[in-house]
Amino acid sequence: MSLFVRAATLICALLFASSASADCECGYVVNGTLYTELSESDFLHLKNTNQSGWLPQEYQISSDVARGPFGKDASPRQVIFNPLKSRYDWAGDGILGGDAGAQIIVRAGDPGEGGLIPMGEMATNRTDMLYGSFRAGIKLTDQPGTCGAFFWYLDDTQEIDMEFLSSQFNETSHPVNLVLQSEASLAAGYNAIATDDFQVHQLPFDPSGGFHEYRFDWFQDRIEFYADGVLLKTMSGDGVPSKPGHLMLSQWSNGDPKWSGGPPEQDAIMTVNYVKAYFNSSDTKRQDDWSNRCRDINAPNATCEVPDITAPPQGNVSANTFFFSQQQNMTVNQTVPGDNPNTETSGAWSIRSSVQAFSTTMVLLSFAFFMEWWS
């Protein structure tokens, strides 16, 4: 057997053994449910939206379409990345001052009769999210007159919302509006309040006073809503979505006194320090990838438990939440934004395992071929 053939055989065996021993190769477990996909965004250390996995939205809609006195002017200018000054920190001011993270802004000022209010919105690149656990660390604005939202979206009849109306915040009331937009809300004139898929839940903290984790777990038959790891409400029935879509972060105002109010008298900033999604994919290619990499679901470390937070994500200790994508060997064949923030490559996209394995194979095979030719 030639040196080249022997080297190629050895390299393939080593690469197979390496990939077979990867942690979490079969997925991520939340409360006993397995999800095959992962998407994690560490906005405390990302410098811009390039390669972040998120797209700032750009559109204009009239007051009639927005169903309020004013329309909406969504622009990438109202989505500002403000990372921490040091990549070693997990709390503090951003490089632009103020809270670090992705800032989603509604601009102050009277836009005039029927005018458009400048606002910010982001959506994930991935639109194949079908059931999963979705969570975000968010600090809401203290300026009355906006609606801040963390939600999953397909269309106006398949939507899961956690919405915060800053005009509702006061010393004794800090509510979150839990909403499923459905065929029933469409039939009610886009008014989910008139359906069974709307609940208001009082929070035991001020959402504008600091960062807290907001989360919803989407199953085939129900939605579970959480704040700081505590279950708030479970919704079920026909309003539960059944098709794939994507995650969104938004803050807007249309002047509707029955909902967002506004516009705000001062610029209103909603800051996001992370988003984490563990989900199943509707993409058949991703499903095939999972089948190929998950050789034994019962093997040690083949699945990994997703840790729940135990404290609000603020301060250098509690804001340093766990990211699988910042660990070694825990995101095999996953496309994840960012490496460990303690490296110079933080913020770059990486497709783990497959690219590294291919590169290693090419280098070693080239060396083996050279040695065969030289001999």
**Could you tell me the pTM of the whole model?**
0.86
The predicted model gives 320-333 an average pLDDT of 88
* Distance from the Cα of residue 184 to its chain's centroid: 27
**DSSP per-residue letters across 30-90:** ETTEEE-EEEEEETTT--SSTTSSEEE--EEE-HHHHTSSSEEEE-GGGEEEE-BSSTT-S
For residues 300 and 283, give the distance between their C-alpha atoms in angstroms, rounded to a whole number: 27
Question: Is residue 166 predicted with pLDDT exceeding 50?
Answer: yes
Please identify which residue in the block is written with the tokens 């972060």.
249
Local confidence band at 193 (pLDDT 50, 70, 90 cut-offs):
confident
Question: Is residue 184 predicted with pLDDT exceeding 80?
Answer: yes
Question: Is residue 143 predicted with pLDDT exceeding 60?
Answer: yes
Local confidence band at 338 (pLDDT 50, 70, 90 cut-offs):
very low
Residue 171 burial (10 A CB sphere; 0-12, 13-18, 19+): exposed
- Point out the least confidently predicted range of 41-45, 327-331, 366-370: 366-370
**What is the DSSP secondary structure assignment for residue 102, as one 8-state letter?**
E
For residues 196 and 55, give the distance between their C-alpha atoms in angstroms, rounded to a whole number: 32
* CB 121, CB 79: distance < 8 Å: yes
Question: Is residue 254 predicted with pLDDT exceeding 50?
Answer: yes
The predicted model gives 2-11 an average pLDDT of 52
Q: Which residue has the higher pLDDT, 6 or 164?
A: 164
pLDDT (0 to 100) of residue 344: 38
The predicted model gives 171-176 an average pLDDT of 96
pLDDT (0 to 100) of residue 266: 97
HSE-CB for 158 with a 13 A CA cutoff: 14
* CB 249, CB 102: distance < 8 Å: yes
Question: Is residue 109 predicted with pLDDT exceeding 50?
Answer: yes
For residues 334 and 343, give the distance between their C-alpha atoms in angstroms, rounded to a whole number: 19
- pLDDT digit string, tens, across residues 45-60: 999 888 789 999 999 9
- pLDDT digit string, tens, across residues 256-275: 999 999 999 999 999 999 99
The predicted model gives 26-55 an average pLDDT of 94
pLDDT (0 to 100) of residue 354: 45
Local confidence band at 366 (pLDDT 50, 70, 90 cut-offs):
low
Q: What is the mean pLDDT of the chain?
A: 87
Residues β-bridged to residue 120: 251
Could you give the percent of the chain with pLDDT greater than 90?
71
Residue 366 burial (10 A CB sphere; 0-12, 13-18, 19+): exposed
Q: Which residue has the higher pLDDT, 100 or 374?
A: 100
- 227: helix, strand or coil: strand
Tally of CB atoms within 10 A around 312: 19
Tally of CB atoms within 10 A around 89: 17
For residues 255 and 257, give the distance between their C-alpha atoms in angstroms, rounded to a whole number: 6
- pLDDT digit string, tens, across residues 86-98: 999 999 899 999 9
For residues 61 and 56, give the distance between their C-alpha atoms in angstroms, rounded to a whole number: 16
For residues 39 and 323, give the distance between their C-alpha atoms in angstroms, rounded to a whole number: 10
Cα angle 327, 333, 339 (rounded to 5 degrees) comes to: 35
Tokens in use for 330?
Answer: 């825990």
